């Protein structure tokens, strides 16, 4: 029986842990007034799963449980058990909460809730994941040709790259710049208070801000949140001089080397949107990132199962066959 238990818990040793599933993320959310719940899964006498749930009250839905980018599983837990565990977790949450919103990480490349009869609210997002486990020479060889050429040009442009923990008192300018970018380009993201809270909760090793300077002027920057064994690119900014000099390829390259040397296995570069942000998608893929499709976002609330069965018809079974064959 797959039995998720509430209480003090941590990801299993060796598990891949997305930002939203890392304990420091929960501590950061608490600092900005959000509530979380940690659940652990034991199987045959050992801890094999961890899930971090965000709890919010949403109007008429009441208290909603949000499962984002989880659960985190022990590396050796087989695929069928992982799939059963995700379904059991969602069922447990659905019994105790008015509504559940689940966007799980893939299980061996497949959507773990495919075919479960749940209402699909959003189609699967595609992330760009950048593997850092190779030697620097191999990482550089993996860069796409045009991206590598831009990197070489940036290395010759006289840029000076600095890196340090993110300190809002000194780097608050980046949050102001990001807020302006969001308004101008009409995109959203994590609350801008979260990087500050994450830095406070995790200490100096939890963040790294890389900045590019040219003739004493800051021309570009990229901020990473570190959640071992992974890291996540969170905010980026570039002025006109930074764009002309190709600062972002050089910053990302230096970040790859810095993080990889400290045991970080991969960087989550965020979603790939080839329609509305084609240039950014090319930048991420050019750096050697590979696409990774998440599970669809599904809503579980009173009546949604019936709606899902009516809307899906026989397609759910076919989707399941494709995902798990």
* CA–CA separation, 67 and 45 (whole Å): 25
DSSP SS3 for 269:
strand
Which helix (H) or strand (E) is 88 found in, with range?
helix 79-96
CA dihedral 274, 138, 70, 276 (to 10 degrees): -10
For residues 200 and 178, what is the distance between their CA atoms, to the nearest angstrom?
19
Q: Is the peptide bond before 71 cis (omega within 30 degrees of 0)?
A: yes
Tokens 């599983």 map to which residue? Answer: 73
User: How far apart, in whole angstroms, are the C-alpha atoms of residue 24 and residue 232?
Assistant: 13
| pLDDT of 130 | 98
The answer to whether residues 208 and 166 touch, using CB atoms and an 8 Å cutoff, is yes
- Alpha carbon 8 to its chain's center: 23
* Band of residue 189 on the pLDDT scale cut at 50, 70, 90: confident
Given the structure tokens 């818990």, which residue do they identify?
A: 9
- Is residue 51 reached through a cis peptide bond, with omega within 30 degrees of 0 on the bond before it? no
Q: Which residue has the higher pLDDT, 322 or 35?
A: 35
Higher pLDDT among residues 57 and 271, named by residue: 271
Helix or strand run (H / E) with residue 150: helix 145-155
Largest CA-CA distance found in the chain, in angstroms, rounded:
63
Residue 199: which pLDDT band, with cuts at 50, 70 and 90? very high
pLDDT (0 to 100) of residue 117: 80
From first CA to last CA, the distance across the chain in angstroms is 24
- Per-residue pLDDT at 61: 66
- Which DSSP letter does residue 8 get? S
Residue 67: both structure tokens together: 């499962």
pLDDT at 316: 35
What are the pLDDT digits (tens) for 36-68? 999 999 988 889 999 999 998 877 667 889 999
For 97-140, write each residue's pLDDT tens digit: 878 889 999 988 899 998 888 888 888 999 999 999 999 999 99
């Amino acid at each position: 029986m797959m039995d998720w238990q509430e209480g003090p818990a941590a990801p299993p040793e060796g598990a891949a842990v997305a930002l939203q599933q890392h304990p420091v993320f929960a501590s950061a959310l608490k600092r900005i007034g959000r509530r979380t719940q940690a659940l652990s899964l034991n199987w045959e006498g050992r801890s094999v799963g961890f899930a971090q749930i965000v709890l919010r009250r949403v109007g008429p839905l009441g208290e909603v449980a949000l499962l984002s980018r989880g659960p985190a599983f022990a590396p050796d837990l087989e695929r069928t058990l992982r799939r059963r565990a995700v379904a059991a977790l969602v069922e447990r949450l659905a019994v105790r909460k008015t509504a559940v919103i689940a966007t799980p990480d893939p299980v061996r490349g497949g959507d773990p809730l495919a075919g479960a009869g749940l209402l699909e609210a959003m189609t699967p997002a595609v992330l760009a994941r950048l593997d850092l486990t190779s030697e620097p020479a191999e990482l550089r060889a993996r860069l796409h040709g045009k991206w590598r050429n831009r990197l070489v040009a940036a290395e010759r442009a006289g840029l000076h790259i600095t890196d340090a923990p993110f300190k809002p008192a000194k780097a608050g300018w980046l949050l102001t710049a990001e807020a302006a970018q969001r308004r101008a380009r009409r995109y959203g993201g994590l609350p801008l208070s979260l990087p500050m809270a994450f830095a406070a909760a995790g200490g100096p090793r939890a963040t790294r801000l890389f900045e590019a300077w040219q003739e004493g002027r800051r021309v570009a920057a990229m901020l990473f949140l570190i959640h071992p064994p992974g890291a996540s690119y969170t905010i980026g900014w570039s002025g006109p001089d930074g764009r002309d000099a190709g600062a972002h390829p050089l910053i990302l390259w230096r970040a790859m080397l810095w993080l990889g040397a400290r045991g970080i296995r991969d960087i989550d570069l965020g979603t790939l949107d080839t329609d509305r942000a084609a240039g950014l998608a090319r930048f991420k893929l050019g750096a050697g990132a590979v696409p990774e499709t998440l599970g669809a976002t599904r809503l579980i609330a009173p009546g949604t199962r019936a709606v899902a069965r009516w809307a899906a018809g026989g397609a759910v079974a076919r989707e399941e066959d494709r995902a798990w064959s």
